[in-house]
């Protein structure tokens, strides 16, 4: 069937195959790398009425095809379907269902909601130190409501956005907690608090902290240090054992680099430290340190074995 040819990239190829379990009836080209094969695309276009492009993210191939699929013999441009002409949604991830619609197939029958399985949103592990940190932070910041703003970052602790914590207002990208807190402080927001994990801090929070120091901003940066990269399964974290020295090296005053241990019995002390550093007119860092309980369990089991 040469009514259309299909160019599918990456995961979109799987969506295409899922919709044609007995084989795709149209000529189809699977693209797995760049630069994409222009000659093959031209060859396909010469024998098809239209080309449907299935690709995740930005319509890179679709845009480039628009400039090259001209048939000088027929004196015609091949019609290109995809994200740019509305055949597929312009934004968001592709799904087997939206690909199905683009292929002109009838929708699959949707299952009704399960009456047995209850939806369960993701949550921090029970006993996780981030829980204790957010609990203490929430209590400490009550006094500064409604002006206090907390900017968080990417890691397990992003789940502090969810109930019951609802501890922060933004999470944009790795390292943005610190620079957004700086921007907020510069525009008069107080208290401006950043919450970032130890791995994210060494990945892209250190430069922001240096900016805070250079600006002499009133920002409180809380590094929730679980001594690992918890979100991705417990890989080593680049700054383990050296966070205080790193912060000192970046210019934070040593007396405003505080370390707390997030445990329920320490809540009063944690809240006191948070109050003190919020009220310091300058850059302060609170390192909240307790090992991720998942890696702690693994380490305990390994030690027992040894």
Q: Where does this chain bind ligand SF4 (CB under 6 A)?
A: 124-125, 128, 130, 156, 226, 230, 292-294
Q: Please identify, using beta-carbon distances, which residue of 261 and 293 lies nearer to ligand SF4.
A: 293
* Residue (of 282, 262, 128, 112) closest to 209 by Cα position: 282
Cβ-based nearer residue to ligand SF4, 87 or 226 = 226
What's the min distance (Å) between Cβ of 194 and ligand SF4? 18
Can you say how many angstroms the Cα of residue 215 is from the centroid of all Cα atoms in its chain? 28
Q: How far apart are CA 1 and CA 13, in angstroms?
A: 18
CA distance 227 to 203: 14
Based on CB atoms, which residue is closest to ligand SF4, 211 or 291?
Answer: 291
- Residue 289 Cβ, how far from ligand SF4 at the closest point, in Å? 12
Nearer to ligand SF4 by C-beta: 139 or 293? 293
Least distance (Å) between residue 204 CB and ligand SF4? 19
Cα–Cα nearest to 291, from 279, 300, 282 = 300
Q: Which residue has the tokens 């999470």?
A: 171
- Considering the complex, what minimum distance in angstroms separates the CB of residue 93 from ligand SF4? 25
CB of 286 to ligand SF4, least distance (A): 17
Give me 21's structure tokens.
């379990």
Measured between alpha carbons, how far is 150 from 136 in angstroms, rounded to an integer? 13
With beta carbons less than 8 A apart as the criterion, state whether 74 and 102 touch.
no
Rg, C-alpha atoms of the chain: 26
Q: Which is nearer to ligand SF4, 259 or 294 (CB)?
A: 294
């Amino acid at each position: 069937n040469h009514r259309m040819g299909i160019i599918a990239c990456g995961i979109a190829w799987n969506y295409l195959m899922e919709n044609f379990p007995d084989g795709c009836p149209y000529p189809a080209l699977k693209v797995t790398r760049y630069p994409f094969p222009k000659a093959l695309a031209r060859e396909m276009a010469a024998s098809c009425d239209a080309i449907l492009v299935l690709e995740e993210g930005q319509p890179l191939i679709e845009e480039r095809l628009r400039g090259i699929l001209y048939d000088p013999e027929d004196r015609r441009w091949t019609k290109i379907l995809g994200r740019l002409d509305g055949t597929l949604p312009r934004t968001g991830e592709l799904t087997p269902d939206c690909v199905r619609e683009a292929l002109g197939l009838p929708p699959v029958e949707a299952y009704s909601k399960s009456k047995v399985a209850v939806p369960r949103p993701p949550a921090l592990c029970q006993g996780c130190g981030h829980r204790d940190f957010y609990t203490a932070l929430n209590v400490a910041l009550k006094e500064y409501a409604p002006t206090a703003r907390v900017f968080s970052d990417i890691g397990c602790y992003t789940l502090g956005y969810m109930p019951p914590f609802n501890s922060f207002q933004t999470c944009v990208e790795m390292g943005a907690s610190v620079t957004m807190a700086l921007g907020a402080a510069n525009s008069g927001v107080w208290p401006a608090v950043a919450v970032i994990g130890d791995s994210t801090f060494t990945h892209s929070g250190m430069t922001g902290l240096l900016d805070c120091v250079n600006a002499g901003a009133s920002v409180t940066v809380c590094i929730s240090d679980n001594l690992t990269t918890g979100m991705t399964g417990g890989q080593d974290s680049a700054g383990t054992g050296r966070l205080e020295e790193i912060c000192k090296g970046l210019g934070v005053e040593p007396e405003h680099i505080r370390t707390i241990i997030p445990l329920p019995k320490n809540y009063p002390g944690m809240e006191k430290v948070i109050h003190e550093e919020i009220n310091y007119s300058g850059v302060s860092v609170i390192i909240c340190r307790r090992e991720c309980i998942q890696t702690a369990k693994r380490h305990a089991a390994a030690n027992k074995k040894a």
